[in-house]
Amino acid sequence: MSIAQPVYIGTDGGATTSKIAGVWGSGVPVSTGLLQWPTSAQEGPQAVVRGWVAAISAYLEQNQLSWDQVQGVGVAIPGPRRSYGVLERGPNLPESFVGFDVYTSYGGALAERAGRAVPLVVGNDGNLGGVAEA
């Protein structure tokens, strides 16, 4: 019986389109393709979170992976934040996102879908993009 490799998922939460990708525990990309998914920001923050979780499920399925393999998720969010994972007024997001706690909401949705807590890291998209390029 083989043990499934751990995978880490990145979510780029753009204002109009979100992107999902994964890396193995070694840091090697799962695939060279990104899954693009409508962000649906006009439907509110909870709809965005639901969409991110659905997009991860689709990405896992496309790559013959399971939620059991997901050992962590990172999300890059646009614009400034009030505190860790809590959005401030951003240039491309509706007013309903001001004060929204991405960390708590997304973390809860991931745990519900995976059936266990999934470590989550939240950061500014510009900062995390720089880290990814380093």
Question: 95: domain CATH number?
Answer: 3.30.420.40
Rounded to whole angstroms, how far apart are CA atoms 104 and 29? 27
- Bridge partners, residue 29, by sequence: 23
- Domain-embedded: residue 73: yes
17 within domain boundaries: yes
More confident residue, 61 or 131: 61
Task: Judge contact between 86 and 96, C-beta under 8 A.
Answer: no
In a domain, 1, yes or no: no
Domain of residue 67 covers 7-133
Let me know if residue 116 belongs to a domain. yes
The confidence score (pLDDT) of residue 1 equals 39
With respect to residue 46, please indicate whether it lies within any of the assigned structural domains. Answer: yes
pLDDT above 60 (res 134): no
Q: What is the DSSP letter of 32?
A: S
Q: Is residue 2 part of a domain?
A: no
- Per the domain annotation, does 22 fall within a domain? yes
Residue type, 110: L
Task: Measure CA 110 to chain center.
Answer: 9
For the stretch 57-67, what's the b/e string if a residue is b when 16 or more beta carbons lie within 10 angstroms of its beta carbon? eebbeeeebeb
Which pLDDT tens digit goes with each residue over 55-71? Answer: 999 999 999 999 999 99
Give per-residue pLDDT as tens, 4-33.
Answer: 899 999 999 877 899 999 999 999 999 998
**Cα gap 20→56, rounded to integer Å:** 7
Mean pLDDT of the chain: 87
Identify the residue whose tokens are 């109009």: 16
Q: What is the pLDDT of residue 123?
A: 85
With respect to residue 26, please indicate whether it lies within any of the assigned structural domains: yes
Count of domains forming the chain: 1
